[in-house]
Amino acid sequence: MSGSPRHSRDDVSEMALRLLDEYGLPDLTMRHIAAALEVRASALYWHFPNKQALLASVSARILRPMEDVRVEDMTVSETVRRLGARLRECLLAYRDAAELVSSSLALGLVDSPVQPQLMAVTRRDGVPDSLSRVAAEAVMHFVVGYTFHEQQRLSADSFGLLPETTSSLNPEHANARPADGGDFEEALKMIADGLEVSARQHTETSAG
């Protein structure tokens, strides 16, 4: 059929995402990605300057569904909670996605997945951009960190590791026990409430 199966940038990152989900981040090597595309590792350097850039394009792909969240009719608090919950869903959709996105975000190689939509709503409601940016950072870092930790526990469990540690039979370490799914939403609510308090303080100060 196809005599010369040459690839696009998008082909590469699409395949990389598939391999990430199937084999995990430690096995997402340039050689494995290349092999899956029936190509040598050196060929990938025509499409990307280095591995970090390739991983950033995979991160952007993972975060793409964030764009579909419609926030027009939401309150500020609803928007914070909705964007946070959706971000967690995006990260849980692929194996090791939270770890990958965490480092791409820290390196500044992908845009904030929360800021644009949150800012649209806060501007509509007269909340200062500075507060909105801060809240977007708080939500983003909390969700990515929380889900990173959560995702590690999931794959540790599936590997059969931590058999007695996770069963929380040790009252000595009850304080250290991981939070469950409902705690995630509780934390988002805290940040949302905190943003509303700050916004209220701002309008009182500038109006009164």
Binding site for DNA (CB under 7 A): 5-8, 27, 29-32, 34, 38-43, 45-47, 49-52
**Min. distance of Cβ 190 from a copy of itself in angstroms?**
3
Instruction: Work out whether 78 is an interface residue with a copy of itself (CB under 8 A).
Output: no
- Asked whether the beta carbons of 110 and 104 are under 8 A apart, the reply is yes
Query: In this chain, which of 105, 114, 121, 127 binds a copy of itself, going by CB under 8 A?
Result: 105
User: Which does residue 15 bind out of DNA, a copy of itself, none, counting CB within 5 to 8 angstroms by kind?
Assistant: none
Stretch binding a copy of itself (CB under 8 A), from 16-24, 35-43, 68-76, 151-159: 151-159
**Min. distance of Cβ 185 from DNA in angstroms?**
36
Helix or strand or coil: residue 122? helix
- Asked whether the beta carbons of 153 and 178 are under 8 A apart, the reply is yes
Instruction: Work out whether 148 is an interface residue with a copy of itself (CB under 8 A).
Output: yes
Nearer to a copy of itself among residue 126 and residue 178 (C-beta): 178
- Asked whether the beta carbons of 119 and 78 are under 8 A apart, the reply is no
User: Which does residue 99 bind out of DNA, a copy of itself, none, counting CB within 5 to 8 angstroms by kind?
Assistant: a copy of itself
The Cα–Cα gap between 19 and 33 comes to 7
The Cα–Cα gap between 64 and 150 comes to 21
Query: In this chain, which of 46, 125, 190, 203 binds a copy of itself, going by CB under 8 A?
Result: 190
The Cα–Cα gap between 77 and 85 comes to 12
Nearest C-alpha neighbor of 205 from the set 128, 146, 153? 128
